[in-house]
């Protein structure tokens, strides 16, 4: 998408779905918000890295479908070669945010630019609800990951992947404390400089659009 337009996501969504406030634009933005919140929680727990823009896709409509479908504008992550205890560059862990929330993503999530808009509050609320729901299924999620412990995958070959996964659920916290933790995770990820820096590195090295 970045190679086909001079604008960012905010402009692309208007180009594809109509002006801000129109039913099609708002439907696409709503799908983007919901899917972004889901990936935020999953990313916090499973720690996928190498989240440059070449690994972020958007669901699109075809000529036979409605623009207001529940898929249009939905964020889709691909390529999970680095996850749990691994990251690019010899495990440098340069991507320090728990999930990717670049400047152009925040333009859709938070038109105010200061984390005070209704859409931003909606996004954070969904992240909190998703995290609290995941905590209630902590043992099932951990046991599912445990099934792959002897797979030989690099993400299980260093550190304490299962122990650290459990820590990210923060079972010692109350629901209120966990909710505040997730809110802080969202604030920390908001246009973080290491996210922009990693996109710049990928652009300079691989030509992947920022």
Q: What local confidence, expressed as pLDDT, does residue 96 receive? A: 75
Share of the chain above pLDDT 70, in %: 80
- Can you read off the two tokens belonging to residue 125? 């609320």
Element (H, E) at 90: helix 88-91
Q: What local confidence, expressed as pLDDT, does residue 113 receive? A: 83
- 4 assigned to some structural domain: no
- 63 assigned to some structural domain: yes
- 178 assigned to some structural domain: yes
- 78 assigned to some structural domain: yes
The model's pLDDT over 78-93, given as tens digits with 9 standing for 90+, comes to 888 888 988 776 656 6
Q: Which domain holds residue 52?
A: 9-206
Q: Tell which residue, 202, 167, 161, 200, has the closest CA to residue 181.
A: 167
- 122 assigned to some structural domain: yes
Question: For the domain that residue 118 is a member of, what is the CATH number?
Answer: 1.10.1070.11
Question: 51 pLDDT exceeds 90?
Answer: no
Q: Tell which residue, 139, 186, 202, has the closest CA to residue 36.
A: 186
Q: What local confidence, expressed as pLDDT, does residue 16 receive? A: 86
When the pLDDT of each residue in the chain is averaged and rounded to a whole number, the result is 84
- 1 assigned to some structural domain: no
Q: What local confidence, expressed as pLDDT, does residue 87 receive? A: 79
- Can you read off the two tokens belonging to residue 13? 């969504």
- Can you read off the two tokens belonging to residue 159? 């550190």
Angle (nearest 5°) at CA 102 between 136 and 41: 5
Q: What local confidence, expressed as pLDDT, does residue 70 receive? A: 64
Q: Give the residue with greater pLDDT, 28 vs 96.
A: 28
- 3 assigned to some structural domain: no
Residues 132-154 as b or e (16 or more Cβ within 10 Å = b): eebbeebeebeeebeeeeeeeee
- 114 assigned to some structural domain: yes
2 and 53 Cβ atoms separated by less than 8 Å: yes
pLDDT confidence bin for 152, thresholds 50/70/90: confident
pTM of the model: 0.85
pLDDT confidence bin for 64, thresholds 50/70/90: very low
103 and 190 Cβ atoms separated by less than 8 Å: no
Looking at the 3D structure of the chain, how many domains does it have? 1
Q: Which of 64-73, 84-93, 160-169 has the lowest mean pLDDT?
A: 64-73
Q: Tell which residue, 25, 23, 26, 75, has the closest CA to residue 51.
A: 75
Question: 206 pLDDT exceeds 80?
Answer: no
């Amino acid at each position: 998408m970045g190679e086909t337009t001079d604008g960012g996501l905010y402009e692309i969504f208007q180009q594809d779905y109509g002006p801000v406030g129109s039913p099609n634009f708002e439907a696409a933005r709503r799908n983007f918000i919901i899917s972004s919140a889901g990936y935020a929680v999953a990313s916090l727990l499973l720690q996928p890295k190498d989240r440059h823009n070449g690994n972020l896709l958007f669901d699109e409509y075809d000529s036979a479908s409605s623009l207001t479908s529940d898929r249009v504008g939905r964020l889709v992550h691909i390529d999970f070669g680095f996850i749990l205890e691994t990251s690019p560059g010899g495990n440098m862990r340069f991507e320090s945010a728990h999930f990717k929330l670049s400047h152009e993503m925040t333009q859709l999530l938070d038109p105010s630019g200061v984390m005070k808009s209704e859409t931003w509050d909606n996004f954070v609320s969904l992240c909190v609800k998703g995290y609290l729901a995941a905590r209630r299924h902590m043992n099932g999620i951990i046991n599912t990951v445990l099934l792959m412990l002897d797979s030989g995958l690099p993400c299980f070959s260093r550190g304490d992947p299962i122990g650290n996964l459990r820590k990210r659920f923060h079972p010692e916290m109350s629901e209120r404390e966990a909710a505040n933790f997730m809110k802080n995770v969202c604030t920390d990820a908001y246009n973080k400089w290491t996210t922009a820096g990693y996109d710049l590195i990928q652009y300079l090295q691989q030509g992947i659009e920022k």
